[in-house]
Amino acid sequence: MIWAAVLLGSLGCWVEKLLGYLLPASTLRSPWATRIAAFMPVALLAALVAVQTFATGQSLVVDARVAGLAVAIVALLLRAPFLVVVVVAAVSAALLRAAGWAT
Amino acid sequence: MPHELVGNESRRISGKALGIGIATGAYGLSFGAISVASGLSALQTQALSLLMFTGASQFALVGVLGAGGGLVAAVLTAWLLGARNGLYALSLAPTLRGSWFQRIGLAHWTIDETTAMALAHPEPLAAQRYAFWRTGLAIYVLWNLGTLIGALSAAVLPEPRTLGLDAAIPAAFIALLWPRLVSRTTWAVAASSAALAIALTPILRPGLPVLACAFVAVAAAALVKGRTS
């Protein structure tokens, strides 16, 4: 199942890129398509942030991930690079769990 | 390819491309580690970086699979996130056109960073092409190398939760989201989407709440159109 997701997902993402080179320039270059393309990553990434922070299966929980997210936002406000943002979030969640202050 | 460029210009572009490649490689490290922590094998993780080669879609695919969202939701979310690459390709097509063989190769490297670099060097045409393929090459090599190191180290690490790797996933998504929050409208899209995803979590199978938020993007595009026209 994972291999099917990896290969199907990759094939589709490649076809999307290729289509842009093959279709005539007028096909999708409407303000409508441009706006959807600009909003789509924002909507999906924001949903992924929310779900990956608060969801465990179908239940909503508040655990060390919330603290990790807060630390990540502080790091972003301080203009930290990507890897630093990810690492400080993981480390703060790990420390809170090791100290027994969060699950 | 760069024969129409003077040495200075091509060196400057190569330097920038390498810088972007190194930054992306570092981010590849976290992708490799997060993907293995989400339950993919190191080989599956590497296949994603080699074949899918578009970061947000890769993170989304492993995030949805890791959360138990299943094949369809994982693949559709990755596709929806990858759709923007098609629009990048449309805007690059006039400058980067070539043989079928070239197009197929170029297509694979059409992502946020290569498009930004190419569009940042509009003149002369040779500089734009050079910026595109040097950035593509640097990122492709270093992103895959980063993925490999991240995946192999995560495979020998203890329980992901002890290391806080589950908290690294939302951090990666917020870092991808952050530079896109450029206006009040994008903030509104992000906030309503996050709220909708939370509201749908107890009702829908894992993976579907995120997918449902694609409608927030469509609705926002319709609303903005109504306001400006």
Question: What's the domain range around B36?
Answer: 2-180
Instruction: Provide, as residue numbers in chain B, all residues whose Cβ is less than 8 Å from the Cβ of A7.
Output: 47, 51
Domain count across chain B? 2
Are residue B140 and residue B210 in the same domain, yes or no? no
Q: Is B190 on the interface with A (CB under 8 A)?
A: yes
Q: Is A72–B171 a contact, with Cβ atoms under 8 angstroms apart?
A: yes
Percentage of chain A lying above the pLDDT 90 cut: 69
Q: Is A35–B110 a contact, with Cβ atoms under 8 angstroms apart?
A: no
Are residue B137 and residue B211 in the same domain, yes or no? no
From B26, B93, B108, residue closest to A81, measured CB to CB: B26
Q: Global pTM?
A: 0.85
Are residue B68 and residue B98 in the same domain, yes or no? yes
Of B163, B180, B197, which closes a domain? B180
CB A86 within 8 A of CB B171: yes
CB B15 within 8 A of CB B135: no
What are the CB-based long-range contacts (under 8 Å, 24+) for B22-25?
B22/B138, B22/B142, B23/A81, B23/A82, B24/B55, B24/B113, B24/B138, B24/B139, B24/B142, B24/B143, B24/B146, B25/B139, B25/B142, B25/B143, B25/B145, B25/B146
Are residue B15 and residue B126 in the same domain, yes or no? yes
Are residue B172 and residue B197 in the same domain, yes or no? no
Are residue B137 and residue B169 in the same domain, yes or no? yes
Say what angle helices A31-54 and B184-200 make with each other, to 10 degrees. 50
Are residue B29 and residue B100 in the same domain, yes or no? yes
pLDDT (tens, 9 = 90+) of chain B, 229 residues, equals: 445 677 788 888 898 899 889 888 888 999 999 999 999 999 999 999 999 999 999 999 999 999 999 999 999 999 999 998 988 888 888 877 777 777 787 899 999 889 988 988 887 888 888 999 999 999 999 999 999 999 999 888 777 788 888 899 899 889 989 999 999 999 999 999 999 999 999 999 888 999 899 999 999 999 987 665 4
From A20, A51, A72, residue closest to B197, measured CB to CB: A51
Are residue B149 and residue B161 in the same domain, yes or no? yes
Are residue B120 and residue B43 in the same domain, yes or no? yes
Are residue B196 and residue B105 in the same domain, yes or no? no
HEC assignment per residue over chain A: CHHHHHHHHHHHHHHHHHHHHHCCCCCCCCHHHHHHHHHHHHHHHHHHHHHHHHEECCEECCCHHHHHHHHHHHHHHCCCCHHHHHHHHHHHHHHHHHHCCCC
Please write the tens of the pLDDT for every residue from A43-89.
Answer: 999 999 999 999 998 899 999 999 999 999 999 999 998 889 999 99
Are residue B168 and residue B191 in the same domain, yes or no? no
From B86, B91, B174, residue closest to A76, measured CB to CB: B174
Are residue B53 and residue B120 in the same domain, yes or no? yes
